[in-house]
């Protein structure tokens, strides 16, 4: 292993531990200790290193998952389809790169994009049948989320 690869492997391991700790605090304890922007900076650094050294990517990397595990305090609901998330962007260049990826993926489609500031909150999946809410579930790990149906019922419209 070359020195730069060894150095990258060490930094990747450090970033993964740090990100996992922040994921645990955010998703499992609901008690984050860093800002979203600082978390995104760490996460972006990990992505950049994994792109430069793809041989160091492992299946358990935080870049290979959506979020933390569902909380034990709630019952769980399996999503009908994976509930994924988009990357954050902080510059016009990143928005442009995203748009160019869409154009490549959908070459024969007219693409309309709406951009709005990110507002922290919860990603939730709602299932209605005949106009009645059957359940509400958080994103969780993207496959299984927390059942928050009772909590959603307290939100005023």
Instruction: Name the more confident of 74 and 2.
Output: 74
Q: Same domain for 86 and 59?
A: no
Does some domain include residue 70?
Answer: no
Q: Same domain for 83 and 52?
A: no
Domain boundary among 64, 98, 115: 64
What mean pLDDT comes out for the span 127-133?
92
Q: Same domain for 38 and 82?
A: no
Q: Same domain for 117 and 52?
A: no
**Nearest 5 degrees, angle CA 56-CA 58-CA 98?**
85
CA torsion sign for 90, 12, 64, 122 is: negative
Instruction: Name the more confident of 3 and 147.
Output: 147
Domain holding 23, by residue range, is 5-64
What's the confidence (pLDDT) of residue 70?
54
State the chain's mean pLDDT as an integer. Answer: 84
Instruction: Name the more confident of 49 and 143.
Output: 49
pTM for this model (two decimals): 0.52
Out of 46-60, 64-78, 136-150, least confident range: 64-78
Give the DSSP letter of residue 93.
H
Q: Same domain for 103 and 34?
A: no
For the annotated catalytic residues, the residue numbers are: 118
pLDDT above 90 for 66 = no
Contact present, 29 and 22 (Cβ < 8 Å)? no
Q: Same domain for 20 and 43?
A: yes
Interhelix angle 3-23/36-52, rounded to 10 degrees, is 150
What mean pLDDT comes out for the span 16-44?
89
- The tally of domains found in the chain comes to 2
């Amino acid at each position: 292993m070359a020195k730069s690869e060894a150095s990258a492997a060490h930094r990747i391991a450090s970033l993964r531990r740090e990100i996992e700790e922040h994921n645990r605090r955010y998703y499992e304890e609901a008690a984050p200790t860093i800002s979203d922007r600082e978390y995104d900076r760490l996460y972006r650094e990990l992505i950049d290193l994994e792109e430069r050294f793809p041989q160091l990517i492992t299946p358990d990397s935080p870049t290979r998952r959506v979020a933390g595990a569902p909380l034990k305090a709630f019952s769980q609901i399996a999503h009908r389809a994976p509930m994924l998330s988009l990357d954050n962007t902080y510059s016009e260049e990143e928005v442009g790169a995203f748009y160019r990826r869409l154009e490549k993926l959908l070459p024969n489609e007219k693409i309309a994009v709406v951009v709005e500031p990110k507002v922290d909150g919860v990603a939730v999946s709602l299932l209605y049948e005949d106009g009645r809410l059957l359940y509400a579930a958080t994103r969780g790990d993207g496959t299984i989320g927390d059942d928050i149906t009772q909590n959603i019922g307290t939100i005023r419209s």
